[in-house]
Amino acid sequence: MPVNYAGRGRPNHAIHYGQLKPPDGENMSALEFRGVNARPDIELLRGLKRQEIDLILAAATARRFPAKSVMTYQGEPADHLLLLWKGRARYFYETPNGKKLIMIWITPGHSFGGAALVPRPSTYLLSTEAVRDSVALVWDGPTIRGFSRRFPQLLENAIVSAVDYLSWYIAAHAALCSQTARQRLASVLLGYTSSMGQRVSGGIEFDITNEELANAANITPYTTSRIMSEWQKAGAIHKHRRKVVVRSTERLFLRVA
């Protein structure tokens, strides 16, 4: 189905809907965006000194993106680099006939819009949308490129992130060409378990719908629903209210074999 832009005209600016004000009930003081408060797993800042991290974070603009809002738009100028500070987001690709393809998910600590690091003008290859109410730090192209020249480690980290995304794409393409529908769906579930799952009583839980799983595994929603029901009966997973709990990876593997 065509991408829904909430009935509003598509903006000329790729991050038009980000709001500078803090989320309701949350104090986004300048002190929050300092190296001492930064997640240790932020790939973009790995290997940098605390004072260097403080300098980079201080130059960013904190923007709020409500759930279901588009953060960057496919095909528009890639003139900003973003770092997800809170919330959850994901990439998607809109095909020429309007089909929305869900790509890789983005969790706090991951950056996107890396093309802004390249001086040559380019466009975003994918769109990015907030799945939950989110906060992102945003740098314009000239600012982040200036930091990459001053701190080469920053650019090295961005390259590592790009390689990670390429690895994900290769794995997804290889799975599409060589795995059964059941195997692809199991791979998607296990990937989400490790990338965005939260431990709860009875297993690892994450937010997902059958339609989103079907898109990610490149199978039909009907096939997805049928396989998920089989796995739930076997006790490998539990599906409820747009959530999946992976109860046992061992049972899941047994059902795939």
pLDDT tens sequence across 118-127? 999 999 999 9
Q: Which of 9-23, 76-90, 97-111 has the highest mean pLDDT?
A: 76-90
pLDDT tier, 89 (very low <50, low <70, confident <90, very high otherwise)? very high
pLDDT at 173: 78
CA distance 176 to 170: 10
Query: Residue 230 in contact with residue 255, Cβ under 8 Å?
Result: yes
What is the residue extent of each domain of the chain? Answer: 30-174, 179-256
Instruction: Out of 112-116, 135-139, 194-198, pick the least confident.
Output: 194-198
Superfamily for domain range 30-174:
Jelly Rolls (2.60.120.10)
- pLDDT exceeds 80 at position 207: yes
pLDDT at 6: 34
Report residue 97 CA to chain centroid gap: 24
Q: What is the CA radius of gyration of the chain?
A: 19
- pLDDT exceeds 60 at position 162: yes
Q: pLDDT tens digits, residue range 47-57?
A: 999 899 999 99
Pick the CATH number of 179-256 from 3.30.1330.60, 1.20.1250.20, 1.10.10.10, 3.40.710.10: 1.10.10.10
Query: Residue 56 in contact with residue 90, Cβ under 8 Å?
Result: no
Q: Which residues contact 234 (CB under 8 A, 6 or more apart)?
A: 251, 254, 255
**Mutual angle of helices 249-256 and 221-233, in 10-degree steps:** 120
Which residues make beta-bridge pairs with 83? 111, 137
- pLDDT exceeds 70 at position 9: no
The candidate with the shortest Cα–Cα distance to 185, out of 256, 93, 107, 106, is: 256
Q: Rounded mean pLDDT of 33-48? A: 75
pLDDT at 36: 52
Q: Which residues contact 193 (CB under 8 A, 6 or more apart)?
A: 204, 206, 246, 249
